[in-house]
Chains A and B, each alone.
Chain A
């Protein structure tokens, strides 16, 4: 890739990198939230009588995963040039 092309790419993506950053930041939490809910449903199906405890902990795990994606949403605003 030539230097001009790199410069052109940098000029056209300037200010839009926040969207790319959010896209990257959403990958991990996406997998994490899927695991949290998947395993919780599995646990609930195995032991329906333990449902209240599982549900509470499911939302806890969900919240801890979710905040990573939300930090990805926040960071572009913080580092706005």
Chain B
């Protein structure tokens, strides 16, 4: 049941003995739009596909016929591209990073568009708040990271790059090897996925919470004032989410480029 149906079906106000319809994990479960066998096609999937088409379509329209003097659309596309190229790839990876800018740009805009879906009317759901979407994106980054590590350093060097820090006192070596292994191979992809998921989850939960509370408190008593306050907070949280959405897309891309940099750097 989505937030909208929750609001519409509840029809419940304070002092009517029906309890506050608090949002919870059920706010993130949707009735399938259609099903093929046991496969349910739900709203988050639809939104993710729309975002994919938006990203592909936008860059296709902007760069299909590049001109020396850019038109409006190409200009916007170039601004987006150079933002990722300059402030993420160049800043973190350096000259070698130019090769990875298309990858990073795609990730940045896909994540950002998915996050923005949280505040677009009628969409109003961030697909990244279902854990599978961030996991898939993090897996993509992780596979790239592992591939580049072993491609740049070979098998022995790659393993050494993952677990070894040179110049340590002997007794510390087993501990640091274990810690580095956990850090590089387990914690990194896990936190990359969890960071995006939990941010979108918490943000959506906040907005739903205040929206539901606005409706719940809307009665012909003095509590309407509280309802107004809740509505104001919902608006404020929406504005705050805009910032968080951009920041999370930026941080996801930044960390992806830091992992790539760690994989292709010479020596430790």
Q: DSSP majority for the B interface?
A: helix
Q: Is the interface of A mostly helix, strand, loop or mixed?
A: helix
Chain A residues within 8 Å of B25, by CB: 77
Q: In the complex, how many angstroms separate the beta carbon of B94 from the nearest chain A beta carbon? A: 12
B219 in the interface, Cβ–Cβ < 8 Å? no
Query: For chain A residues 49-81, which have a beta carbon within 8 Å of chain B?
Result: 52-53, 56, 59-60, 62-63, 66-67, 70-71, 73-74, 77
Cα A52 to Cα B255 in complex, Å, equals 16
**CA–CA, A34 to B42, complex, Å?**
39
Give the residues from 191 to 217 in chain B that come closer than 8 angstroms, CB to CB, to chain A.
Answer: 191, 194-195, 198-199, 201-202
Q: How far is the CB of A29 from chain B (nearest CB, A)?
A: 12
Query: Within 8 Å of chain A (Cβ to Cβ): is B148?
Result: no
Question: Interface size (B, Cβ < 8 Å)?
Answer: 18
In the complex, the answer to whether B254 meets A59 with C-beta atoms within 8 Å is yes
* A70 in contact with B195 given A52-B91, A56-B87, A56-B92 (CB within 8 Å): yes
Closest-by-CB residue of B relative to A72 is: B198
Contacts of A52 in B (CB 8 A): 87, 91
Q: How large is the interface on A (under 10, 10 to 19, 20 to 34, 35 or more residues)?
A: 10 to 19
Which residues from A are CB-within-8-Å of B88? Answer: 56
Known A59-B250, A59-B251; judge A53-B191 contact (CB<8 A).
no
Is B218 an interface residue when CB atoms closer than 8 A count as contact?
A: no
B198 touches A70 (CB 8 A): yes
A63 and B91 contact, CB distance less than 8 A: no
> A27-54 toward B: CB 8 Å interface, digit per residue (1/0)?
0000000000000000000000000110
Q: Is the CB of B194 within 8 A of A53?
A: no
Query: Is the CB–CB distance between B251 and A70 below 8 Å?
Result: no
Chain B, residues 18-35, CB within 8 Å of chain A (1/0): the string is: 000000010000000000
Interface residues of B (CB under 8 A from A): 25, 87-88, 91-92, 191, 194-195, 198-199, 201-202, 247, 250-251, 254-255, 258
The 4 closest A-B pairs by CB, nearest first: A70-B198, A67-B191, A63-B251, A67-B195
